[in-house]
Amino acid sequence: MKECVNLRAAEQPPAWPHVAAAVAPRCPAKTSEIRSLLAAVRADVPEFRRAESLAYPLAGRIGLIVMAMAQGVMRGPQDLADYAATLRQGQLGALRLHADRQSGARRCPGKTTFDRVLTAVADDALERVLRR
């Protein structure tokens, strides 16, 4: 019961912040909120790649970056990939990420996928999305 009191306290016990920093942030967004975000992203950053390249749609990847930044994930492509791995299947589906043909599970982008999107998208377009 003492832990519950500590959770409600104005300050956490000294050892807790260290543990909390090691835990990956979780996305609280509902699928309807994610779909709304994707509509806004598509308005500012249209898809420019060939249809064969769309396993990870551009709007979905940028939307994922926005969601990660809202949760405090800002240290680069590997942190973005780690954050993506925490998303539920419904959230990945709302981002329109494709399902694996064998397992049917939605796949989340990895580090190199985020590297590519961060270098391919114009800085001003990405900034517009983030500011909105």
> What stretches of 9-122 show up as alpha helix (H) in DSSP?
16-22, 31-44, 58-70, 77-84, 89-94, 111-120
CA distance 129 to 4: 39
Of 93 and 29, more confident? 93
The model's pTM: 0.70
HSE toward the beta carbon, residue 69, CA cutoff 13 A? 13
Say how many C-beta atoms besides its own lie within 10 A of residue 28's C-beta.
10
CA distance 100 to 107: 6
Tens of pLDDT, residues 75-120: 889 999 999 999 999 999 898 888 888 998 988 888 988 888 888 8
* Residue 115, both tokens: 């590297």
Tens of pLDDT, residues 32-81: 888 888 888 887 777 776 665 666 788 888 888 888 888 888 788 999 99
